[in-house]
Amino acid sequence: MSVPTATALSQHIADVPLIDQHVHGCWLTAGDRQRFENALNEANTEPITYSGFDSQLGFAVRAYCAPLLGLPRHVDAHTYWERRREFAEAEVARVFLRGANVTDWLVDTGFAEGVAGVDEFAAACGGRVHEVVRLEQVAEQAAQAPGDYAAAFEEILHRRAATAAGTKSILAYRGGFDGDLTEPPAAHVAEAAERWRDSGGVRLRDRVLLRFGLHQALRLGKPLQFHVGFGDRDCDLHKTNPLYLLDFLRKSGDTPIVLLHCYPYEREAGYLAQAFNNVYVDGGLSINYLGARAPAFIARLLEMAPFSRVVYSSDGFGPAELHFLGATLWRKGIHRALQQFVDAGDWSEADAIRVVDLIARDNAARIYRVD
């Protein structure tokens, strides 16, 4: 391994505290090795039949997480697992969360099975925690509430959002972006809500109600995050091309819209960030899963998107390694990309340091008002 010379840029990147603008809880209770290895595979919804360590993410865990457990870099998978299980899960969480150098975590509470709630997470990480409210969960709460669905949705959304940093949509998992995303008339909403309530009111897939929720979120005005691209195979990846959001974005006004993950559509997402004053992009989940290939991805995120329109997140869920590794791989990747721009004479080092600050925290602090 070559040892790069420390520069003002590399030092700045190593030190800058981050805002992780989209994350989930981490595990706090013990689990077996199968749970851990499956957590290193995002896309497969079945038990994997091979080692989850045999992937870019698995190799990155061995390279960068091992030292925090007192192990050498690149330690073998078996030794990593054996060492990890010597610690209580809460202790693992404490070590990795605090190792990430993140000051503010924006936690999506819409899916939290088996992971820390907001308060537990706050205790473990030692930083500030802000909630992100998932719109489909608000819908499911409104379906169970008495009276008019639309009024219930609006009431719950405003109540929950009052103390939250923003909202999030998983439309990508509920039919995809392709098709009409205009605001539905009230009568259609009422009919759709009645149908959905009659059928149990769980796992919202009704397009009318999904559209209704999005427009309520626009009206709220807090940043609205979209899951875009890479996720598990329940989602039809080809229906999550963010370009299908064009008509929606054309009518989205000033509400910040944040496109998360984006793989393999990060160039399309960057284009949208240039095309609309209110659109932001984030590599999210993809960075962890790309491991050694994350620098190439991060560089592509820096193509068409204005630098004031790029933010950071880990999308960590489950093993706290992911919350730490997201930050670590982002630091490595942004350094590789920007140092290359500087070395080529395309950017000054001061340019690079300024862009690091924008992405690491300034852009997120501004739109989420968390500083």
- Contacting its own copies within 108-167 (CB under 8 A): none
Considering the complex, state which of residue 130 and residue 300 has its C-beta at the smaller distance from its own copies: 300
CB of 347 to its own copies, least distance (A): 5
For its own copies, the closer CB: 21 or 55: 55
Scanning 52-60, 127-135, 137-145, 155-163 for contacts with its own copies by CB under 8 A, the matching segment is 52-60
Stretch 73-92 residues interacting with its own copies (CB under 8 A): 73-74
- Work out the burial of residue 70: count CB atoms within 10 Å of its CB; fewer than 13 is exposed, 13-18 middle, 19 or more buried: exposed
Q: Which is nearer to its own copies, 97 or 279 (CB)?
A: 279
d(CA 285, CA 263): 9
For its own copies, how many residues bind (rule: CB under 8 A)? 75
| 104 three-class SS | strand
Q: Which stretch binds its own copies (CB under 8 A): 22-30, 51-59, 105-113, 195-203?
A: 51-59
Site residues for its own copies, 195-254, by CB under 8 A, read 230, 232-233, 236-238, 241, 243-244, 246, 250
Beta-strand runs (E) in 63-163: 102-108, 128-134
Instruction: Round to whole Å and give the CA distance between 324 and 298.
Output: 17
Q: Does 182 bind its own copies (CB under 8 A)?
A: no
Q: Report, in Å, the least distance between residue 36 CB and its own copies.
A: 15
Six-digit token string for 86: 């010597």
Rg, the chain, Cα only: 20
Closest CA to 101 of 132, 127, 130, 124: 127
* Binder of its own copies out of 8, 14, 30, 43 (CB under 8 A): 43
Binding flag, residue 39, its own copies (CB under 8 A): no
Q: Nearest approach, Cβ of 261 to its own copies (angstroms)?
A: 12
Closer to its own copies by CB, 174 or 300: give it.
300
Among 180, 348, 357, 371, binds its own copies (CB under 8 A): 348
54-62, 119-127, 143-151, 319-327 -> range binding its own copies (CB under 8 A): 54-62
Distance CA(39)–CA(93), nearest Å, equals 15
Q: How would you class 150 by CB atoms within 10 Å of its CB: exposed for 0-12, middle for 13-18, buried for 19 or more?
A: middle
Closest by alpha carbon to 290, among 259, 314, 310, 311?
314
The string over 312-340, giving b where at least 16 C-beta atoms fall within 10 Å of a residue's C-beta and e elsewhere, is bbbbbbbbbbbbbbbbbbbbbbbbebbbe
Contact status, residue 189 vs residue 149, Cβ threshold 8 Å: yes
DSSP letter at 40?
A: T
- Report if residue 2 touches its own copies, rule: CB under 8 A: yes
Interacting positions 264-303 with its own copies (CB under 8 A): 264, 267-268, 271-272, 274-277, 289-293, 295-297, 299-300, 302-303
Residues 317-346 that bind its own copies (CB under 8 A): 332, 336, 340-346
314 in Cβ contact with 100 (< 8 Å):
yes
Query: In angstroms, what is the minimal distance from the CB of 44 to its own copies?
Result: 5
Amino acid at 180: D
